[in-house]
Amino acid sequence: MQISDLAPPYIRGIAPYQPGKPISELAREMGLDAANIIKLASNENPLGVSPLAQRAIRRVLEDLARYPDGNGFELKQALAARYGVAQETIVLGNGSNDVLELAARAFLTHADSAIYSQHAFAVYPLVVQAIGATGIEVPARDFGHDLDAMMRAVRSNTRLVFIANPNNPTGTFVRAPRLEAFLSALPRQVLVVLDEAYNEYLTPELRADSVAWLKRFPNLVITRTFSKVYGLAGLRAGYAFGDPGVADLMNRVRQPFNVNGIALAAAAAALGDTDFVRKSYELNQTGMKQITDGLARLRIEYIRSYGNFVSFKVKDAGGVYRGLLERGVIVRPIASYGMPDHLRVTIGIESENARFLESLEQALA
Ligand SMILES: *Cc1c(COP(=O)(O)O)cnc(C)c1O
């Protein structure tokens, strides 16, 4: 017997999260120059860190001997002003992955179940399983959330439903009226965690005021992140809005200083960098067209995406992935999402998108 055998079976059964390959790792493995590698594998912002956030980061460096503000007052104040919510409704996290886990920790026991969709974000099953609760995976419909089936899957012990909108890695999107109908019909003892990590990439006509729903649905928690359009993936900052009672519980189970001082300062500054967010959005719009036009030209099937990435289908996904790596292009295999024939590519800057398409054509040949 090994000491690790003593851990509960549901912990030993956890499948490790598979992140996108870091540039430094590919450089080491293939003896490539890191400067010539492009990473389009983790839905990061190709424009880098917002200039306002960079300035805030430099300012806060001098204060790092002190603990950060455990309540994140300034960031909460900025979020409250921006979205018209009370500070009591906000939970800050070390990335939004952290707040997803806080929701699970606050609401699930091993006797409960949580629902998520097939092909949905990998963190949902992970945080559910870490508690020993039962995860219910509902088959997707056209790669997206089948809300009717998810409703039918609710059991008497179901406490949580995760919905990613848009979803990663499929990029699918559920429009507001359907979501509102789902929230209205769902039993009130079930919490809905609506993960809106890619909300800022939605075109204006698709972007609903989901934050306003919080007033009508005390069982709704909305999560968002600074990792995507705000360009701060490396710092780890995310947040949730929810009913004050729910937010209070999530705040009680989090680590007292879960968000570091640099992340707090940078996130508050990035939130106010509307120029940077607009540029990032526009770059994504044109880049999405560039990549999907290119895929169509190569007669490659792809799933229409509402995020900053797109998943496409190829005959030999593993082989194409390796072919791209050999050419210094990192994309993301998504076999672990039940999509062994697809690869996911993040929208980059124009030259990166062009290089990806060119390398893809070569890798397929
Ligand atoms: C990228 C992503 C997040 C963000 O995670 P962070 O921990 O905030 O970096 C959350 N949800 C989904 C669906 C994502 O794709």
- Give, using CA atoms, the residue closest to atom 10 of ligand 1: 197
pLDDT at 1: 86
Indicate if ligand 1 lies below 6 Å from the C-beta of 95.
yes
Indicate if ligand 1 lies below 6 Å from the C-beta of 265.
no
pLDDT at 19: 86
Query: What confidence tens digit (pLDDT) does each residue in 28-72 have?
Result: 998 999 999 999 999 999 999 999 999 999 999 999 999 999 999
Going along the chain, which residue ranges are E strands? 38-39, 90-93, 113-117, 134-138, 158-164, 191-195, 220-225, 238-242, 309-313, 329-330, 332-333, 342-346
Query: What confidence tens digit (pLDDT) does each residue in 209-248 have?
Result: 999 999 999 999 999 999 999 999 999 999 999 999 999 9
Asked if 332 and 344 touch (Cβ cutoff 8 Å), the reply is: yes
pLDDT at 222: 98
Strand order in the sheet with 332-333: 309-313, 342-346, 332-333
Q: Ligand 1 atom closest to Cα of 98?
A: 7
Of the candidates 281, 249, 241, 306, which has an alpha carbon nearest to the alpha carbon of residue 82?
Answer: 241
Give the pLDDT band (50/70/90) at residue 108.
Answer: very high
- The residue count for the chain: 365
Q: Please give the C-alpha separations between residue 133 and each of 10, 44, 128, 157, 357, in angstroms, as whole numbers.
A: 9, 31, 6, 10, 42
Q: Please give the C-alpha separations between residue 150 and each of 147, 154, 157, 304, in angstroms, as whole numbers.
A: 5, 7, 14, 22
Give the pLDDT band (50/70/90) at residue 354.
Answer: very high
Beta partners for residue 343, in sequence order: 312, 333
Indicate if ligand 1 lies below 6 Å from the C-beta of 210.
no
Query: What confidence tens digit (pLDDT) does each residue in 147-158 have?
Result: 999 999 999 999
Q: Which domains does the chain have, with CATH numbers?
A: 3-48+275-364 (3.90.1150.10), 51-273 (3.40.640.10)
97 CA distance to ligand 1 middle (Å):
6
Indicate if ligand 1 lies below 6 Å from the C-beta of 195.
yes
Indicate if ligand 1 lies below 6 Å from the C-beta of 287.
no
164 CA distance to ligand 1 middle (Å):
9
- The per-residue pLDDT of the chain, averaged, comes to 97
The per-residue DSSP string of 55-88 comes to HHHHHHGGGTTSPP-TT-HHHHHHHHHHHT--GG
pLDDT at 18 over 90: no
Query: What confidence tens digit (pLDDT) does each residue in 163-175 have?
Result: 999 999 999 999 9
Indicate if ligand 1 lies below 6 Å from the C-beta of 124.
no
Q: Which two tokens stand for residue 283?
A: 């770059």
Predicted TM-score (pTM) of the model is: 0.97
pLDDT at 16 over 90: no
Indicate if ligand 1 lies below 6 Å from the C-beta of 93.
no
Q: Which long-range contacts (C-beta less than 8 Å, at least 24 apart) are formed by 81-85?
A: 82/271, 83/211, 83/241, 84/211, 85/211, 85/214, 85/241
In the chain, % of residues over pLDDT 70: 100
Neighbours of 190 (CB within 10 A): 17
